Amino acid sequence: MAHDGVRHTDRPDEGVLMVDLALSDDEKEIRSWVRTFVTKELLPLEPDALARERRGERGLPLDELRRLQGLAKQAGFFGIQTPEAYGGMGLSAVMTALVEIELGRSFLQFAFAGAADNILYDANEAQQEAYLRPTISGERKSCFAITEPGAGSDARAIRTSARREGDEWVINGEKTFITGGNEADYVMVFAVTDKAKGADGGVTCFLVDRDRGWTSAPIDTMGEWGPASLVFKDVRVPHDHILGEEGKGFSLAMKWIGRGRYLLPARALGACERLVEMAMEHAHNRTTFGEPIANRQAIQWMIADSATEIEALRWLVLTAAWQVDQGMDSRQSQSMAKLYGGVKANEIVDRVLQIHGGMGYTRELPIERWYRELRLLRIYEGTDEIQRRTIARNLLKGHASVRGHLG
C-alpha cells in the first residue's frame, strides 16, 4: 500500500505537524469492500439475531459465522493483521482501525478469520506448529487467561500458581471473565512460578490444552459477550509448553493487553455513527405537535453534541493507530482513545434511545442491544478508572505532555 492512511508531515518553517487523512486507492477499496459486506451480509441478519437472543442464544450460529468468514476469505479478507508470511493481509494499524469502524456499524460480533493472539508469535518453532499456525487456519481456538476473582485491574495480584515437578509444572487456580474460554481448546494461562520474585520475574505463561484437565463454565452477562470462568486443579503441563521465558510472563501479558486498545473504541465509533444516523432518520419521521422532532432544539443539540464527539473520537483512534504504525510509544494515546470512546459511546447511545422515546426502549430496535453492549467498553481491557490513572501518571511524571506528540 502506498501509505498508512494518515500522513503526518513536519513543516519546520511553521513549527507544526500537518495531518493528511487521504487514503490510497487500495485503502479506499478495502474500506469500501468492508462497508458493502457489512451492509449486504451483516445488517440483514440483525433481526434474527435479536430474536435468537430473546430465546437465550448468543452470537452468530457457528455455521453462519463460517459462511460469512468463507465469503470474506474468497475476497481476500483473511488475517487482517496477520503477517503476510503467515498467510494474512498484514494491514497497518490505521487500516485495521478503519476496518473495525465499518464492522462496528453492526452489533453482530463478527470478525474475519485468520487471526491469532499477538504473543503467540513469541512461540518457538515447535509451539508455532502446534498452536500458532492451527489457530490462524481456524483449526484451533485459544483464550488468554490472566484475570482472576481477586485480580482484575491489578494484574500483578494474580494467585494462580504453578510448581515444578521434574519435567512438568502443576497448575492450580481460577481465572474469570475469560473471553472465548468456553470455546477454546487451549489456553495461554499466567501463573506464579516464583512468588519471591514478584510479577516482573516470577510469573510464567503456559500453553495448556483443554485435555490436560482444566474446565470452563459460562458467566451470564447483560450483553452479547459470553465470558467464562476457568478452573485449574492439579493440571499438569510439560516444561516445554512455557510460552516465552520462565518468569517473563508478565511482560507477555502487558504486550497482549496493549496490542490494540484503540480497536475497541474504533468499533464503538462505527456503532455511534450508525446510531446517530438512526436518530436523525427518526427525528425527520417522528412528528409531534404538527412538526418533525428534528425541528426541536433539544433534539438538534443532542445530535450536534454526538456528531462532535464522534469526530473527536475518530481523531483519537486514528492518532493512536498512526503512532502504532510509526513504532512510537502509543500507550497514552490508546488510553485516551479507550477512555473517551467508552464514555462517549455510552452517552451517545443514551441520547439516541432518548430521541427514539419508548420505541428505543423496546427490543424491536437494536438500540437497547447496543445500550447493553457498549457499557462493557468502560470495563473491558482496562476500566475507565485505570485509563485515567494511566493518563494522569504519564502526565504528572513527565512521560507525556498535554501538547501531545507535538511536544
Which CATH number is 346's domain given? 1.20.140.10
Q: Per residue in 26-54, pLDDT tens?
A: 889 999 999 999 999 999 999 999 888 88
- Give the separation between CA 181 and CA 108, rounded to whole angstroms: 19
Q: How confident is the model at residue 107 (pLDDT cuts 50, 70, 90)?
A: very high
**Contact by Cβ (8 Å): 44, 54:** no
On whether both 104 and 62 belong to a single domain, the answer is yes
Q: Is 1 domain-assigned?
A: no
Percent of the chain scoring above 70 in pLDDT: 93
Q: Of 256, 289, 305, which residue sits at a domain end?
A: 256
On whether both 248 and 292 belong to a single domain, the answer is no
Q: How confident is the model at residue 16 (pLDDT cuts 50, 70, 90)?
A: very low
Query: By C-alpha distance, which of 249, 131, 112 is closest to 187?
Result: 131
Look at the alpha carbons of 373, 318, 78, 135 in this order and tell me if their dihedral is positive or negative: negative
Q: Of 208, 225, 256, which residue sits at a domain end?
A: 256
Over residues 228-244, the mean pLDDT reads 96
On whether both 236 and 308 belong to a single domain, the answer is no
Per-residue model confidence (pLDDT) at position 198: 79
Q: Is 2 domain-assigned?
A: no
- Give the separation between CA 130 and CA 136, rounded to whole angstroms: 11
159 three-state secondary structure: coil
Q: Per residue in 164-182, pLDDT tens?
A: 999 999 999 999 999 999 9
Per-residue model confidence (pLDDT) at position 189: 96
Per-residue model confidence (pLDDT) at position 3: 41
Measured at the CA of 330, the angle between CA 326 and CA 334, to 5 degrees, comes to: 130
Which residues are catalytically annotated? Answer: 381
Average pLDDT of the chain to the nearest whole number:
90
Q: Would you give the DSSP letter of residue 114?
A: -
On whether both 76 and 190 belong to a single domain, the answer is no
